[in-house]
Amino acid sequence: MKELILGGMRSGKSRLAEQRALASGLAVTYIATATARDEEMRGRIAHHRARRPEAWALVEEPLDLAGALAAHARADRCLVVDCLTLWLSNWLCAGDAAGFEAQRAALLAALPKLPGHALLVGNETGMGVVPLGELTRRYCDEAGRLHQDLAALCDRVTLVVAGLPMALKT
């Protein structure tokens, strides 16, 4: 089972992914893509860590998401990727367009082949104001394209709004 969980900031999407990982009854590996670049982000990371069960394995991988998925996916394991859009931000800020395109292609190629359960969390950015800057517009464009491609590959797609999950694809 591959599932894409989308929502805005503080929508409850990570909490839903964590609940579904627990409900899977499988061993869980949490793949975190965030990097602690400032105090605010360190606080967000600490909040997520405190909420997760201690028994869950943690893999911190800001760039090679396809490699992390391939290395840790097992038939008896649930992977939680939190989050796709932070991973995207890491690549866009790195300024390596060719590297990003290669990693994006690797992710899309790897996902259907992964054994076990995978829950992919991402921020839905396409429902707000059109950003003013070139980088933020590119971020929203790339996030939208990535989410569309992943949604086509996933068995289930859920949108979370105000903590309420809405099934988009079951």
Question: Would you call 48 a catalytic residue per the annotation?
Answer: yes
The pLDDT score that the predictor gives to residue 62 is: 96
Please report how the helices 134-153 and 97-110 are oriented relative to each other, as an axis angle in degrees rounded to 10. 20
Beta bridge partners of 3: 119, 156
pLDDT above 80 (res 156): yes
Lowest mean pLDDT among 34-38, 55-59, 82-86, 163-167: 34-38
Catalytic pick among 47, 48, 72, 147: 48
How many domains, in total, are found in the chain?
1
Residue showing tokens 């190629």: 109
Give yes or no for a contact between 25 and 167, defined as CB atoms under 8 angstroms apart: no
CATH number at residue 65: 3.40.50.300
Rounded-to-integer distance, Cα 3 and Cα 117, Å: 8
Structural domain boundaries, residue 81: 2-169
Q: What is the pLDDT of residue 38?
A: 84
Give the tokens for residue 113.
Answer: 């082949």
pLDDT value, residue 35:
85
Please write the tens of the pLDDT for every residue from 35-67. Answer: 888 888 888 888 888 888 999 999 999 999 999
- Residues 72 and 155: their CA atoms lie apart, in Å, by 20
- Which residue has 């967000």 as its token pair? 44
